[in-house]
Amino acid sequence: MASKLTRSTGAGWAFALPGFGLIALFIIVPFFFAFGLSLTNQRLISPNPTEYVGFENYRDLLSLSVITLEPERDDSGAVIRDEDGEIEYPRVRTITRSDDFPQYRGMREWFRWQSGDTARVVVASDVVFMKALVNTLMFVLVVAPVQGALALVLALLINQKLRGINVYRAIYFMPVVVSIVVVSLLWRFIYDGNDGLLNNLLSAITFGGWQPVDWLGNPDTALGSIMAMSIWQAVGFHMVIWLSGLQTISPTLYEAADIEGASKWQTFRYVTWPGLRNTAVLVLIVITMQAFALFAQIDVMTNGGPLDSTQTVVFQAVERGYGKQDISGGSTISVILFLLVLTISLIQRWLTREK
Amino acid sequence: MADVRLKDVRKRYGAVEVIKGVDIEVEDGEFVVFVGPSGCGKSTLLRMIAGLEDISGGTLGIGGKVVNEMPPKERGVGMVFQTYAIFPHMTVRENMAFGLTIARAGKEEKARRVNEAARILQMEHLLDRRPSQLSGGQRQRVAIGRAIVREPSVFLFDEPLSNLDAALRMDMRMEIGKLHQQLKATMIYVTHDQVEAMTLADKIVVLRDGEVMQVGTPMELYHDPANLFVAGFLGAPSMNFLNVDVSDAGPDGATVSNPSLDPVRVAAVKQPVTTGSTATLGIRPQYLHPTAPEKGMLHGTVALTERLGAETIVDVAMKDGTKIIAALSEDRVLEPGTEIGLEFDTAQAHLFSERP
Ligand SMILES: Nc1ncnc2c1ncn2[C@@H]1O[C@H](COP(=O)(O)OP(=O)(O)OP(=O)(O)O)[C@@H](O)[C@H]1O
Ligand SMILES: [Mg+2]
């Protein structure tokens, strides 16, 4: 028997064609392009012909090594210390630039730690990318649970029959419909180090006792500030998803729980939360993917600074591909990000599978 | 164990009053059924007793205490919903133990009481299944089991059988009857199925538009309906109503007639009638017996017969164009078009001043 798909007329296909075409042109083709380009040395504009380079781009991005440094010693064998009493080590540069260690060529120090007198230095061929990777993971680890939980709390608060509840729904949802670029610009003013709203507010609350902080200019606070703002911006969206999940739970289940004597918390635990299982999986995966794609906020607010403390993977991909005209490098980052998100989504699906 | 007393109970949604001052007394251990057409407020009343709806006026007492403001859990009621309302993610055992889990009862007590309830409901073999693996009847049993386990003093049922097919409904009806005998708890049961009402109830409350029409035992209501509504609501096929002229009304009854009804004297006058007025005579189809055309008090022609085997339903067209139905407790062939007479025992007829 012919399936419905093959029996349907050309008109149906004709209607579907523009959609299919656009998806193919802007999503499917670029996806394979990225794979292909990541194996070449393609540049945006270059007099040289493009060459196939295998996995060199991946090596350039991901290579890591640990170098063990012995302290500098004087002739008697004693450890040399500087004025502050810190042990002095040979400079990493002498190793990464030395012809004796070709395996470290081109690498730079990422971070180090000390064990006894020796120091171990982690060197990476692309320190900025490593920082971007760590920042992105940090961002995901903080934003996914906090934003998910906050959105659920808001959804629970808003899922009540109260007069004017729709006003609250609208207010919480409003940041979602405003462009993230606009939101980022506004928050740049809020976070301003001299005269920002946040500093003024804190100083007013503490009666002038607050020392102004340059939220986006300080490596210790920049990423946290962007996290806070990002959570605020998209929480309304996830609130709506939770809300739709809440409304699929039959009200009689709540009544039954009520009659059986369940407290508010017990009702949540035994009725609401189990009923939200599928929604929770959805929210978690969507937030994770959105968090990995962190770009606009960085681009508008910090440009990856200060001291690379807000570099992210997508920002690096764009920066490389267009800023530095290194299309193959940008493509490689995109592919790595794709594999990362795919892996994490699969793990999440496996962890939250129906038992 | 507890009694339930409603005094002038009212419920308003905004400006609309849906329960208009209801007085009902449910004695301890009694099985009371609320019946009435759709939308008459049965569920609303039950939910007010459960504590799921606020009471707009009047007082509700359970076990001698006024509970108007008391939350459901403190009222000591168990409720079974039409849609079962069992928790889909819990096994049958967990569902049944839910109330005990909430009350943080010990493991052993839970196991003991769940097993006891499962034994009563004959569903021990289902305890480890999930609701999705159960049939409708089994799900309803789980819901009943969950109510039993907590040993409430009052059970509330809101049309628990209406989602089941006819055969299962009969089985479950009997089980609920048995359950009442075993538990001896107070039970309030809402239905619009009059068979359920007649078979289960110690006492039936007939409701219409938020008002009590009559309260009584099933047989009182059947044999002695207080008004046309109750008379027409109970019994199947429903009671025949004839428009009649009252010719001689007195303290011992009234004489009534109409073009197809020879004058008869009826003693059971439910509502006072006066000579010269028109009234309604009610006769149940089961009490009409066909005879020869010239005999009997009613005269007409057979319009249709439905043979059900043990019973034959005859539609008779009267001379004045109205139709009445006779139910014969035998299989009998009556050709459409034949003229017949119908006779009845006037003691079984009821006279109402209302008009249908
Ligand atoms: N939340 C509400 N707001 C306004 N009116 C309501 C509300 N709930 C119920 N009603 C009205 O109250 C009346 C009684 O409803 P109820 O559900 O008690 O009827 P019922 O007798 O149980 O009917 P059924 O046999 O169909 O279940 C109906 O007319 C209904 O429209
Ligand atoms: Mg109802």
Label the pairing between strands B31-35 and B203-208.
Answer: parallel
Residue A57 maps to a domain: no
**A316 and A328: one domain?**
yes
Query: Residue-wise over A162-195: b if at least 16 C-beta within 10 A, else e?
Result: eeeeeeebeebbebbeeebeebbeebbebbbeee
Contacts of B52 in chain A (CB under 8 A): 255, 258-259
What are φ and ψ of residue B113, in 5° steps? -75, -35
In a domain, residue A52? The reply is no
In a domain, A13, yes or no: no
Residue B48 above 90 pLDDT?
yes
Report the 10 Å Cβ neighbour count for B1: 13
Q: Quick one: which ligand is closest to B45's CA?
A: 1
Identify whether A22 is part of a domain.
no
Atom of ligand 1 nearest to the CA of B207: 21
DSSP string, A206-266: TTT-PPP--TTTSTTTHHHHHHHHHHHHHHHHHHHHHHHHHHTS-HHHHHHHHHTT--HHH
Check A261 against B78: CB less than 8 A apart.
no
Match 């062939």 to its residue by tokens. B333
Is the CB of residue B163 less than 8 Å away from at least one CB of chain A?
A: no
Based on the domain organization, do A242 and A227 belong to the same domain? yes
Task: Count CB atoms within 10 A of the CB of residue B19.
Answer: 27
C-beta atoms of B73 and A270 within 8 A = no
ipTM of the complex: 0.84
CA distance B189 to B197: 8
For tokens 């296909």, name the residue: A13
pLDDT in tens, A227-259: 999 999 889 899 999 999 999 999 999 999 999
Q: Chain A window 268-307: which residues touch B at a Cβ cutoff of 8 Å?
A: 270-271, 274-275, 277
Measured between beta carbons, which residues in chain A are less than 8 angstroms from residue B51? 258-259
Domain boundaries, chain B: 4-233, 240-352
Is residue A2 scored above 60 in pLDDT? Answer: no
The average pLDDT across A67-82 equals: 79
Whether residues A284 and A171 fall in one domain:
yes
Answer whether residue A51 is part of any domain: no
Over its C-alpha atoms, chain A yields an Rg (Å, rounded) of 27
Dump pLDDT digits (tens) for B281-310: 999 999 999 888 888 889 999 999 999 988
Per DSSP, the residues of A113-157 read EEETTEEEEEEES-HHHHHHHHHHHHHHHHHHHHHHHHHHHHHHH
Q: Pick from B193, B215, B220: which is nearest to B36 by CA?
A: B193
Number of the ligand closest to the Cα of B207: 1
Average pLDDT, chain A: 85
Measured distance CA(A320)–CA(A248) in Å, rounded: 45
Nearest-Cα distance to chain B for A252, in Å, is: 6
Q: Kindly report the number of other CB atoms within 10 A of residue B286's CB atom.
A: 18
The CATH number of B240-352 is: 2.40.50.140
Cβ of B83 within 8 Å of Cβ of A275? The answer is no
Higher-pLDDT residue of A203 and B127 is: B127
One domain, residues A120 and A148: no
Residue A251 CB coordination number (10 Å): 11
| Ligand 1 pocket member B39 (CB < 6 A) | yes
* Residue B52: Cβ-neighbour burial (10 angstroms; 0-12, 13-18, 19+): buried
CA–CA distances in Å: residue A209 to residues A193, A216, B202? 16, 21, 77
Mapping DSSP to helix (H, G, I), strand (E, B) and coil, where does residue A26 land? helix
Distance B327 CA to ligand 1 centre (A): 35
Strands laid side by side in the B154-158 sheet: B77-80, B154-158, B186-190, B31-35, B203-208, B211-216
Residue A228 CA to residue A146 CA, distance in Å, equals 10
Domain boundary among A79, A101, A124: A124
Confidence label for A7 from pLDDT (cuts 50, 70 and 90):
low
Same domain, A201 and A110: no
Residue numbers in A near B90 (CB within 8 A): 270, 274
Query: Which long-range contacts (C-beta less than 8 Å, at least 24 apart) are formed by B215-221?
Result: B215/B24
Q: Are residues A110 and A187 in the same domain?
A: no
A200 located within any domain: yes
Pocket test for ligand 1, best of B43, B47, B53, B188 (most atoms within 8 A of CB): B43
Q: Given this model, what pLDDT does residue A355 score?
A: 64
| Assigned domain for A28 exists | no
Nearest CA in chain A to B158: A252
Length of chain A in terms of residues written: 355
Which range marks the domain in which residue A106 is found?
64-124
CA distance B158 to chain A (A): 12
CB-ligand 1 contact for B42 (6 Å cutoff)? yes
Q: Is pLDDT above 90 for A56?
A: no
Mode of pairing for the β-strands spanning A108-115 and A118-124: antiparallel
Architecture in CATH of B4-233? 3-Layer(aba) Sandwich (3.40)
Q: Which amino acid is at A141?
A: L
- The answer to whether residues A96 and A231 belong to one domain is no
H-helix or E-strand spanning residue B232: helix B228-233
Instruction: List, in sequence order, every residue forming a beta bridge with A187; answer none if it has no partner.
Output: none
B115, B134 Cβ separation under 8 angstroms: no
Model pTM? 0.80
Domain match, A144 and A100 both: no
What is the spatial distance between Cα A49 and Cα A61, in angstroms, rounded to a whole number?
22
Size of interface A-B (CB pairs under 8 A): 61
How does pLDDT run across A298-343, given as a tens digit for each residue?
A: 888 888 778 888 888 889 888 888 888 888 888 899 999 999 989 9
| Spatial distance between the Cα atoms of B177 and B198, rounded to a whole number of angstroms | 12
What is the DSSP pairing of strand B186-190 with strand B31-35? parallel
Residues B246-265 pLDDT 10s = 988 888 888 999 888 889 99
Q: Which residues contact B20 (CB under 8 A, 6 or more apart)?
A: B10, B209, B210, B211
Domain count within chain A: 2
Are both A101 and A88 inside the same structural domain? yes
Distance B15 CA to ligand 1 centre (A): 14
pLDDT digits (tens, 9 = 90+) for B194-215: 889 999 999 999 999 999 999 9
From atom 29 of ligand 1, which residue's Cα is the shortest distance away?
A: B39
Please name the member of A260, A274, A275 whose beta carbon is closest to the beta carbon of B99.
A260
Q: How far apart are the CA of A243 and the nearest CA of chain B, in angstroms?
A: 20
Task: Categorise residue B46: left if φ over 0, alpha if ψ from -120 to 50, beta otherwise.
Answer: alpha
Is residue B73 within 8 angstroms of chain A, CB to CB? yes
Can you tell me the distance from the alpha carbon of B196 to that of B157, in angstroms, rounded to the nearest whole number? Answer: 12
Query: Token pair of B311, please?
Result: 């019973």
Q: Are residues A243 and A120 in the same domain?
A: no
- The number of the ligand 1 atom at minimal distance from the alpha carbon of B42 is 21
Q: What average pLDDT is seen over chain B?
A: 90
B51 touches chain A (CB under 8 A): yes
> With an 8 Å Cβ cutoff, is B285 touching chain A?
no
For residue A4, what pLDDT band results from cuts at 50, 70 and 90? low
